[in-house]
């Protein structure tokens, strides 16, 4: 069965926290939203909209896994007419940089530090000792968040990505506001969808839609990606991913991969375009590899 592809853009209505490895008392934030975090948010939103009985998170999550695939969401700014996403990429000389999708060369690239300065701020916080009603010793921390506006221009920040649909899933189309990431009960992570037009490419890369899993043809990786001995050496960093899934009572916290994954922005060293399948968790793998 063929997939249908849409590009959707979500505008930030409040600061967003998507956690990465902490640095001391600083809770660090990613500049992109992994597909698994988006899947968890949509699962919760759809389950809570059901009128009958207790929300069936497992049923909704399974339905999304079977009928949808998501790309990662990347920060985007409006050029007056279109929302243009900033995408990560590893370069030989500069390491991790960010390039806007409508730029064809490195002239306007931003270093990772410059990008974080444009997007992030830190919020202080502490735990309260209930006995003294004061700050608990050793609990002072700061949490990085993606701001709703670019710090240098004041223009609104959005997150852009793509969704592959196997069936209609009209409920998914009806979602216009979601709460994503950490600390949503404190007002963080509110996003409002601004558009969802049909698409034929993923950030300029060709796609194959008539297979069991949609495939992206690219030399750059825009998601965490499984290692493969059938692809030339990958340039970039790696990390292990793990996460919570409370529908799995026997193993709610588990690794998403036994081996480290290449991070978004990594690329094939020789520049060769390869076919990458998008898995249920949004993690890519070389087409034809068994996982």
pLDDT value at position 115?
A: 96
Mean pLDDT in consecutive groups of 10 residues from the start of the chain, 291 residues: 91 94 87 94 87 76 90 95 95 91 89 96 83 76 93 96 82 88 89 95 94 92 88 85 71 76 91 90 83 53
pLDDT value at position 106?
A: 83
User: Does residue 147 form part of some domain?
Assistant: yes
Q: Work out whether strand 242-244 and strand 190-195 pair parallel, antiparallel, or are unpaired.
A: unpaired
User: Does residue 32 form part of some domain?
Assistant: yes
Could you read off the pLDDT of 26-70 as tens digits, one per residue? 889 999 999 999 999 999 898 888 766 677 888 888 889 989 999
User: Does residue 236 form part of some domain?
Assistant: yes
User: Does residue 291 form part of some domain?
Assistant: no
CB atoms within 10 A of CB 254: 11
Print the domain residue range for 39: 4-286
pLDDT value at position 163?
A: 95
Residues 6+ apart with CB under 8 A from 90: 96, 97, 235, 236, 237, 265, 266, 267
Residues 6+ apart with CB under 8 A from 257: 224, 226, 240, 241, 283
pLDDT value at position 255?
A: 73
Show the tokens assigned to 289: 């590899």
User: Does residue 15 form part of some domain?
Assistant: yes
User: Does residue 258 form part of some domain?
Assistant: yes
Q: What is the pTM of this model?
A: 0.91
pLDDT value at position 6?
A: 95
Question: Strand, helix or coil at 214?
Answer: coil
**Number of compact structural domains in the chain:** 1
User: Does residue 109 form part of some domain?
Assistant: yes
User: Does residue 187 form part of some domain?
Assistant: yes
């Amino acid at each position: 069965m063929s997939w249908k592809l849409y590009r959707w853009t979500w505008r930030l209505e409040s600061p967003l926290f998507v956690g990465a490895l902490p640095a001391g008392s600083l809770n660090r934030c990613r500049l992109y939203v992994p597909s698994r975090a988006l899947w968890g948010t949509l699962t919760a939103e759809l389950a809570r909209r059901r009128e009958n009985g207790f929300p069936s998170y497992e049923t909704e999550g399974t339905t999304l896994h079977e009928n949808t695939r998501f790309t990662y969401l990347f920060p985007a700014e409006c050029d007056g007419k279109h929302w243009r996403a900033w995408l990560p990429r590893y370069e030989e000389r500069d390491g991790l940089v960010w390039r806007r999708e409508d730029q064809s060369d490195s002239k306007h690239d931003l270093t990772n530090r410059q990008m974080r300065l444009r997007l992030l701020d830190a919020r202080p916080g502490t735990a309260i000792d209930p006995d003294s009603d004061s700050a608990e010793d050793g609990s002072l921390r700061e949490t990085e968040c993606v701001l709703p506006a670019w710090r240098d221009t004041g223009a609104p920040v959005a997150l852009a990505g793509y969704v592959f649909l196997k069936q209609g899933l009209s409920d998914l189309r009806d979602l216009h506001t979601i709460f994503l990431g950490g600390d949503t009960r404190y007002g963080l992570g509110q996003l409002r969808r601004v558009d969802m037009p049909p698409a034929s490419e993923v950030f300029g890369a060709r796609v194959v839609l008539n297979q069991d899993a949609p495939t992206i043809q690219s030399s750059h990786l825009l998601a965490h990606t499984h290692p493969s001995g059938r692809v030339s050496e990958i340039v970039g960093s790696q990390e292990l991913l793990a996460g919570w899934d409370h529908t799995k009572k026997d193993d709610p916290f588990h690794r998403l991969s036994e081996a480290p994954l290449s991070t978004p922005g990594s690329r094939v060293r020789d520049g060769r375009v390869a076919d990458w399948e998008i898995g249920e968790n949004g993690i890519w793998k070389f087409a034809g590899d068994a996982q």
